[in-house]
Every structure is written in structure tokens, then in C-alpha cells.
Structure 1
């Protein structure tokens, strides 16, 4: 009888500890509470042409309300060459309101890059990396986006194509909804419209396809934002929660580079998963196509030329 009583007490103790731990995790990692208790860093603030070179801001002003901006970079890393940022998204997050605004920045956007002049946005990472390696590439890219949009950048997450594929595979694939059949030009195959479950290799082909996607480059960007949310949903499915302790360190290696902590990433994924459709806003950078001389490569290139008035309005509406 005593043995049974001891077993019941032990089982009850384990249950209480488990419930308490789950409650603590829920309480501490809830996005509004987690980020409210953080000192939000500022990696870049808008600078004038005379300001110092890009780099971390030493004493950032503290915002009245806890919101922050993330720069997401998908870089094209090729052996022996500086990395170009093929994917760039500026994301504004308001944890207390569970609000996420995503602004997709076309890689061909014509922007000023310090020390170069008006060039393609994806050249910013090349310029920085050529001067000071991977970290400087990140800093120049973040500073360029901060200057262009007129907003601070607080966090960044950077991966390459191989890392992206591994992340998608490790969360078990992602669900994407295609509005129409997608023809993959270089693979010479077509993916039918509707909801599809993709592994890492196919998901990468989908988000890199700019010719067969509906809306071309802009259609590709919208698919990229779908992937972000889908990864968060997969990561926090009930069967994945027990694996987070081992899964997250592995995912961090595939992200390659970020200033988010492990707990930040879990809390952010939680927010992305739970945000309502009305609070998940995706915007494409307005402008027009054109050709201009590029000072970096010394030839006439295709650009996406942003509308300056629309950029001001985007800053007011999204950030």
C-alpha cells in the first residue's frame, strides 16, 4: 500500500512540475510579454550622407511602445564570390497587438548605397562583404534599408539557399497555396494550383521562380511571405513542441546569422502562427521598371524604381 501511495505521489509531483513548466513557458514566451521584457536592440538608424559608416548604434532611443523591425535576408552564396541578397523583407512586428506587417523589397530596387551611389538593393550586401566579410555585408544591407525606408532596424535573420532547404525539411515541409498553375521555367515542369505540401527543395524552387509566378517578381515575393508563416505553423505543431529543445539549435545553424536568441525565435514563431489574417499584412514596394547606368558595375541595368511619395506613405502606414 505504501509503495502505491509513494508511486501516486511521485506521479502527481511529475504532473505538477510538467504543468508548472508548461505554464511558465506559456507565460514567459507569450510574444507580448516576452518582448515587453526585452531591451530591443537597434542595429541601424536612418543616417544622413555625412553620418558615420554603418554599424551598431550604441545608445538607441527607447520607443514608447514595444514594436520592432526585422530585416530578413536570403543570400545567394557562391564559392569565391561575395554574397548577393536575393530575398529581402522588412517586417514590422507589434507583439502586444499580434500584428505583423511585411514589406517585400525587390532585389532590383534602385537605392543609394553609401560609398557607391544609386545601385541595386541586392548590391548592398556585396559592397559590405567585399570590404569586411559576412558581418559587414549584413551591416551595410541593414543600414541601406534603414536609410531607404527611414526606420530603424532592430533584428535581422539571414540564410542561404541550402540553409533554407534544410529549415523547411526539418520542420516537415510547408503548406503553400498557389493561385494558379506555376510553371518552373528552368525545371521545365508545372506545379498545379491549390494548396500543396512542399519539401525544402521544391519550396526553394517555388520562392525563387520569378518568371512563371503570377505577377512575376511580386508574385514570387508573396510566396516568400507565405513560406515564413508556414514555417512558424509547422514549427509549433503539437508533435514538434517536445522536439524544440533539439530542433532549435539545429535550425539556428541553418539560419546562418541572426541576433535573435533561441527564446526570441520561439516567441516570434508563436506570434507568426497565432496572428489573425486581419493583422497579417503583406505589401509590395510601389514603383516602376526602368533602365539606368549602374555605378558599381559600370553598365546599363534593369531596375525597380520606387515611387518616393509612396515610400513615405508606406513608412507611415506599416512602420
Structure 2
């Protein structure tokens, strides 16, 4: 009888510890609390005269917000790395607000020491001077200068890493509004709800010509895939695997200053954000051709509309 009582006490102790641990994890990792207790880093501040701080309402005293730069790098062996995907993300954890601004890789922006060139050249400029980390820093500073906002966090992955991330979360669900023609694969993905593995998801986010709206259609699909990954990570059957998934996910993310607990909290936030609190915007502007000082030839550019960009900064950041 005593033996049975001891087992009951032991089982009850384990249950209490488990419940307490779950409660602590919920309390500490909930996005509305987690980032409030962090010292938010500042990786880049606007350094150009043109990049004046955006006009916005004063933040609440107890509210922290931060900006993330997401970089998808087109890295090939022996070649400099261009940023094929760039997104600036503004997050207000206490209000569960996420604003995403897609930055076309061909955007004409000033890069320090070069002049007006393509946004995706910024990483090459830095990498040529100091390797991968310097590439990140120059790209981060360039976006900070262009938008006139600080950049607090970054996450950078290459295409092989992206494929592995998607496969590790079991693929992603994506709704296509229209048929998507993959020009280079000479195939068509029908409209509607689709489930993609890593290889197919990569083809979708890289497709520029078959997507409805071309480059801008591709940017919207990229933001949908990003949110889908977060949702997959936090499905009930995935949560117990998160602790073991994180080390391998970090191998697939080339570079990030997020901690493991930051990443879990951020994924939690993305999953919990509804359509009313999730805003996606593309960079206004027009197509044009200009002489590029880096390559010394006439190139295609996306030339941003400065007044519209200022308005976006005020609304989103």
C-alpha cells in the first residue's frame, strides 16, 4: 500500500512539474511578453541625410516594436552572393501586428561607396570586402538608409537551406489565386489550395515570369510561404519537436541574431496573427533603365516613388 502511495506521489509530482514547466513556457515565450523582457538590439541606424525618421504616433510606454530584415541569398560556389529575396518586417508583439514590405531586388538605391545601384548588389559589395558577415551588414545598412528606419534583427538563408527548412516542417500550404506557370520547369501548377515540399516551394517563390503580376506576384507568394512555415511549425504535433528541430533549422539559416527562444516566440506570433493584423505591402515605383556604376552598363531597375515610400514608412514602420 505504501509502495502504491509513493508511486502516486511521484506521478503527481511529475504532473505538477510538467504543468508548471508548460505554464512557464507559455508565460515566457508568448510574444506579447517575451520581447517585452528583451533588450532589443539595433544593428543599423539610418546614416544618410535623405533617410529622415518616419513620422508616427509616439509608442506606448510599455510597448516594444522591432524591425527584421529577411534575406534570401542566391549563393553559388565560387561566386558572390546576391540577395534574391528581401523583406522588411515590422513587428508589434503586444498588439500581434506584423507588417511586411517586399523590396524588389532590382530596386535602385544608394549603396555607400558605390552610388545608385541595385538593392541586391549591396550584399555583393559587402561580401567582396569582408565575407558573408560584411555582406549582411552592408545589406542591412542599405535597407536602413533607404527606409529611414532602424533594423533590429535579421535572418538570412540560401536556397538549399530554404528547401530543407520547408521539408523539415513537413511542407507548406499555399493558396494560388490563378494557375502558376513555371517557365523554366515547363509545367503549370493549378490554382487553389496546394501543399508544397521544399523543392516546389522554392520554385514557386523564385518564379518571376509565370506568376500573376510577375515580380510583384512572386513577392506576395514569398510572404505567404513565410507565414505558412510559421503555421506549420506550431501545429500541435510539431510543438514537441521544436526543441530538437531548432539546432538543425539553425544550420539551414546561414545567419541570424535571433536566439532559439526568440525564434519560437516569433513563430508563435506569426501563427496567431489574423488577417486584420497582418499587412503585406509592395514597394511603389516604376520600371526604368539607368547606368549602373558597379557594373558599368545600362541595367533594368525598379525605381521607387519617394513620396509613396514615405507614406508606407509612416503607415507600416
Q: Tell me the TM-score normalized by structure 1.
A: 0.95
CA RMSD of aligned residues (A): 3.3
Q: CA deviation at 1:63?
A: 8.5
SS state at 2:209 partner: coil
Q: CA deviation at 1:211?
A: 0.4
Q: Does the 8 Å CA contact 1:49/1:114 hold for their aligned counterparts?
A: no
Gaps of 5+ in 1: none
Distance of 2:2 and 2:56 partners within structure 1: 63
Distance of 2:165 and 2:109 partners within structure 1: 31
Q: Does the 8 Å CA contact 1:116/1:296 hold for their aligned counterparts?
A: yes
**What do residues 78-99 of structure 1 show as CA deviations (whole Å, max 9, x unaligned)?**
1111100000000000000000
SS state at 2:194 partner: strand
Q: CA deviation at 1:60?
A: 17
Distance of 1:166 and 1:43 partners within structure 2: 27
SS state at 1:50 partner: coil
Distance of 1:176 and 1:38 partners within structure 2: 33
Distance of 1:17 and 1:180 partners within structure 2: 50
Distance of 1:173 and 1:166 partners within structure 2: 10
2:303 corresponds to: 305
Distance of 2:314 and 2:206 partners within structure 1: 30
Q: Does the 8 Å CA contact 2:51/2:146 hold for their aligned counterparts?
A: no
Distance of 2:48 and 2:225 partners within structure 1: 35
Distance of 2:223 and 2:50 partners within structure 1: 35
Pick one of 188, 202, 205 that aligns with 2:203.
205
**What do residues 44-89 of structure 1 show as CA deviations (whole Å, max 9, x unaligned)?**
0000279999xx9999999973000000000000111110000000
Q: CA deviation at 1:12?
A: 1.1
Distance of 2:165 and 2:252 partners within structure 1: 6
State which drifts further: 6-15 or 37-46.
6-15
Q: CA deviation at 1:6?
A: 1.4
2:2 corresponds to: 2
**What do residues 271-301 of structure 1 show as CA deviations (whole Å, max 9, x unaligned)?**
0000111000000000000111100000110
Q: Does the 8 Å CA contact 2:172/2:196 hold for their aligned counterparts?
A: yes
Distance of 1:214 and 1:28 partners within structure 2: 42
1:40 corresponds to: 40
SS state at 2:3 partner: helix
- Structure 1 segments, 4+ long, off by >6 Å, are 49-53, 56-64
CA 1:51–1:177: 2 relative to 1, 3 Å:
closer
1:172 corresponds to: 170
**What do residues 186-219 of structure 1 show as CA deviations (whole Å, max 9, x unaligned)?**
0001101011010000000000001000111000
Q: CA deviation at 1:241?
A: 1.0
CA 1:133–1:99: 2 relative to 1, 3 Å:
same
Q: Does the 8 Å CA contact 1:293/1:300 hold for their aligned counterparts?
A: yes
CA 1:129–1:176: 2 relative to 1, 3 Å:
same
Q: Does the 8 Å CA contact 1:72/1:90 hold for their aligned counterparts?
A: yes
Gaps of 5+ in 2: none
CA 1:317–1:52: 2 relative to 1, 3 Å:
closer
Q: Tell me the TM-score normalized by structure 2.
A: 0.96
Q: CA deviation at 1:5?
A: 1.4
Q: Does the 8 Å CA contact 2:51/2:148 hold for their aligned counterparts?
A: no
User: Aligned residues, how many?
Assistant: 317
